[in-house]
Amino acid sequence: MSTWTAARQISSATGYMLLRLGDLARDRIESELRRWEISGKELRVLGYAHGQELSQRDLCELADTDRTTMVAVIDKLERLGYARRTRSDADRRKQLVVLTDQGRRVVEEALAHMTEVEAGFLAPLEPAERRQLNDMIARLYAAHDPACSAP
C-alpha cells in the first residue's frame, strides 16, 4: 500500500473525520468564547450552575471533571466575577457554587451566541439533516457511554 493510499484511507475513515470535525467545532467555539474570557469547559460549568446551587463535587460529576481541574475552573470564574462559593445552610461542610448576576448574563449571552455559531457551522446541512445528525450522534453516545446519552 502506498503512502498516499494509506493517507486517503485514514482521511476518509468516519472516525477520523469525526475527530477532525470535532477539533474544528471546538476551535471555533473556543475562539468565540474568548469575548467572555472563558473556555467551553468553563461555559459548561456555568451552564450546570445556572439557576441552581450545586456543590463542587456535583459539578465534578456533571462535567466529568476531576476535583483539581474543577477548583481551577471555579477559581477563574470567581476571579471573573461570574460565580462565588458559599457554604450550604444544610451542610456547612459543603461548598456550593452560585452564579452572580454577571455570571447568569454571561451564560445567557454565550448560549445565544453559541446557537448562532452552531447554526453557521452546520449551515451546509438542511434543517432535517441537522436533526438527523443530532439524532445519530445521540444514538452513538447512548451506545458507547450511557452516562452521555443526554449530553
pTM for the structure as a whole? 0.82
CA 18/CA 116 separation, integer angstroms:
21
User: What pairing do the DSSP bridges indicate for beta strands 95-99 and 83-87?
Assistant: antiparallel
- The CATH number assigned to the domain holding 79 equals 1.10.10.10
Name residues whose C-beta falls within 8 Å of residue 99's C-beta, 6 or more positions apart in sequence: 46, 49, 50, 82, 83, 107
Count: domains in the chain: 1
Look up the domain containing 82 and give its range: 3-148
| Consecutive H or E run containing 112 | helix 101-121
pLDDT tens digits, one per residue of 54-83: 999 999 999 889 999 999 999 999 999 999
**CB–CB of 4/12 below 8 Å?**
no
